[in-house]
Amino acid sequence: MRKKEIRVALIGHKFMGVAHSNAFRNLSMWMNLPVKVSMKCVCGEDSEENLSIFAERFGWESWDPDWRRVVQRNDIDLVSIATPNFLHKEIAIEAARNGKLIICEKPLSNNLSEAREMLDAVERADIRHCCGYTYRFTPSLALARQLVAEGRIGRIYNVFVRYAQDWISDPNFAMVWRFDKKIAGSGPLGDLSAHSIDATRFVTGLHFKEVSGNLQTLIKERPLDSAKPSGSKGSVTVDDVAQFLVNFEEGATGCFESTRLATGRKNYNTIEVNGEKGSIFWNFEEQNSLLFYDNQRSPKESGFAKINVTHDMHPYNGGWWPQGHGIGYADSFVIEFGLFIKSILENAAFNPDFRDGMECQKVLEAIEKSSVTRTWINLSQI
Ligand code: NAI
Ligand code: SOE
């Protein structure tokens, strides 16, 4: 595609809205793109006044609270979706109908049938799409993938994957959209384990064959208003803890857990891969390093080596600074969006796309089904 300018609209202006704004504002510069990225319009469910303040602060030319109007605008090429999960499908399908390029946050949708509809819509419209599994764009996680691909881990025996946070461990933490199944689809299962499933697919290339899930809601009610903890309560309709065992097609096994009740854990997004020739351990909280155990070395000097991934021979050049200076959370969005736009300009493949999002959704659906039926579910049944 030959383009001089990519004109962007962003739907959603809170947590991810800020991360996306920062990325769009900076990616031409950091990713050396031969194209101008114009931040045309931001949309959010908010007052005109607040939207205008946001637009001014983050560099958007205009704002509009109505996403339908925004995705129909002729002066928009790319729509970036950073809304609660239940809106992803409707916005993406409408954007696809209008021929827009799409970045959609994870999880792709609230369930598998929605994900299939979304994939179908973008394929029919023949537009390019990205599903926001951002952690793939962390140099350390990409190095883990490289080590596996280069055979340094050998045959994979086991993956041990835990994503733990603690921001809702206080039972008086009030209701937010993430506790409502109709809006969020699920709890940590789709919020956090979705990242873990994608990271496992990305790093190991293993194929999920069957799963056994245990989803539990430990805090069933929460205050509606954080200022009145003893006032009216709302029901939590999603899981608080998502645990599942996996058998992969290739014969490896997996043990996964995610929770937002792990007191002391902030964004403990981890994956350990144990293989015949070595092991790796990745922890996003220490994103500029990767632990690697090389089983080919003599036991005399073996141990997990902490690789500093900030050298320009590391994936994504280890970032943009001289070695040792490291990169941070916001930078992975710059890399993600930059590589997505580059792939469009060069007509090259890009992952993760909506198919990756749909594959992840298939695993999530199997886990939910397994948890309800208390049986192992083979993905071919999904
Ligand atoms: P948030 O609650 O901070 O922001 C949601 C935004 O959606 C707000 O700006 C709100 O005004 C807007 N919105 C809600 N309804 C709307 C409507 N009808 N029309 C227009 N805008 C509307 O949520 P957050 O944390 O930013 O999450 C958004 C999405 O990003 C979720 O799907 C979440 O799973 C995903 N996410 C992805 C992350 C990643 O690592 N890639 C990190 C955090 C969130
Ligand atoms: C909240 O648990 C959250 O913001 C998730 O929605 C993100 O996907 C994760 O990356 C960080 O935590």
Compute mean pLDDT per 10 residues along the chain, 382 residues long, and list them.
87 98 96 95 98 98 98 98 98 98 98 98 98 98 98 98 98 98 98 99 98 98 94 98 99 99 98 98 98 97 97 97 97 98 97 98 98 98 92
pTM tops 0.85, yes or no: yes
pLDDT in the model for residue 259: 98
pLDDT in the model for residue 254: 99
List the domains of the chain with CATH numbers: 5-134 (3.40.50.720), 136-353+359-373 (3.30.360.10)
Identify the burial level of 355 via C-beta atoms within 10 angstroms of its C-beta, where 0-12 means exposed, 13-18 middle and 19 or more buried: middle
Query: Pairing relation of β-strands 5-11 and 78-81?
Result: parallel
Residues 6+ apart with CB under 8 A from 13: 21, 42, 43, 44, 46, 51, 54, 82
| CA of residue 45 to ligand 1 center, whole Å | 10
**Ligand 1 atom at minimal distance to the Cα of residue 85:** 32
Can you tell me the distance from the alpha carbon of 110 to that of 361, in angstroms, rounded to the nearest whole number?
Answer: 8
pLDDT in the model for residue 365: 98
Amino acid in the structure at residue 216: Q
pLDDT in the model for residue 351: 98
Residue ranges lining ligand 2, Cβ < 6 Å: 165, 191-192, 195, 260, 267
| CA of residue 105 to ligand 1 center, whole Å | 8
| CA of residue 75 to ligand 1 center, whole Å | 24
pLDDT in the model for residue 328: 97
pLDDT in the model for residue 375: 98
The closest residue, in CA terms, to atom 1 on ligand 2 is 191
pLDDT in the model for residue 1: 61
